[in-house]
Amino acid sequence: MIPAAVEHVRPETLDEALDALTDPEAKALAGGQSLLPVMKLRIVRPSVLVDIGRLGLGGVQLGDNELRLGALATWDTLESAPELKRPSLAALAGCAAEIGDLQVRNRGTLGGSLAHADPASDMPAVVLALGAEVVVRDARAERKLSAEKFFLGPFTTALAPGELITEVVFPLVEGSGSAYAKVEHPASGFALAGAAAHVTPDGKRSVAVTGVGAHPFLLPADADPLDALTEAEIYGDRFAPTEYRRHLAGVVVRRALDRARENMEKAA
């Protein structure tokens, strides 16, 4: 189908973009890999598309204690960034390499994916497992949201009307390791089950899963991850019934934890 008629604006500054987004019928356009398909189906019909491609939000900045990723960083950028080669951040580059096809990785963006909040999207699990904060702004103020409080349901986030993701901030834990693993649908590439794991030298671990519920979620830190999956609310569909998807979740959790521990050993 062809999208409904829409006005296209391309602001030069962040302030201009945020001002345009005060229109309740406006939508931000990043890489377009999530928004444009639903516009073609006329599921979403914005009156204004605010193209944020010129705002310079695609940077990768590695500091002493944190990593800052701009909202417009593409999957290709994350896959190839030298800053993400360290074992503690391996889940980011590894996950980016498994998303979609070449076109999607060249155009799709971190911020666009998080804002779209597809329940089977890959990167939200990594953002959760690494304890990231999502930085958002509107025309009046900036605020930070923990990843755990950001994802609320299928295609639903804590973003308020007019807010735009500007960057995602990850704390750095020296000597830690992380990894991402998934079983994908053979046609779409979306996760039938995906898991991100982060382990630290003091024995702590953080595991998040995606593709198995209403939204990506963290498994309880005080329980064995595999035991926690037996109690988790897992959904089934025509691609994977509930108990099969629960089994797949266990498989990818084990893989992610094993790879994260291997990466931690490389950091030692």
Neighbour-count burial for 121-151, b at 16+ CB within 10 Å, e otherwise: bbbbbbbbbbbbbbbbbbeeeeeebebeebb
The tens digit of pLDDT for each residue in 112-146 reads 999 999 999 999 999 999 999 999 999 999 999 99
Average pLDDT over residues 254-262: 98
pLDDT given at position 121: 95
Calculate ∠ Cα 202-206-209, nearest 5°: 160
In the predicted model, what is the mean pLDDT of the chain?
95
pLDDT given at position 55: 95
In this prediction, residue 102 has a pLDDT band, given cuts at 50, 70 and 90, of confident
Tell whether the model's pLDDT for residue 268 goes beyond 80: no
Q: What share of the chain has pLDDT > 70, as a percent?
A: 100
Residue 70 vs residue 37, higher pLDDT? 70
pLDDT given at position 70: 98
pLDDT given at position 149: 98
The tens digit of pLDDT for each residue in 15-45 reads 999 999 999 999 999 998 888 888 888 888 8
In this prediction, residue 187 has a pLDDT band, given cuts at 50, 70 and 90, of confident
Domains by residue range for the chain, with CATH: 1-55 (3.30.43.10), 57-268 (3.30.465.10)
Q: What share of the chain has pLDDT > 90, as a percent?
A: 87
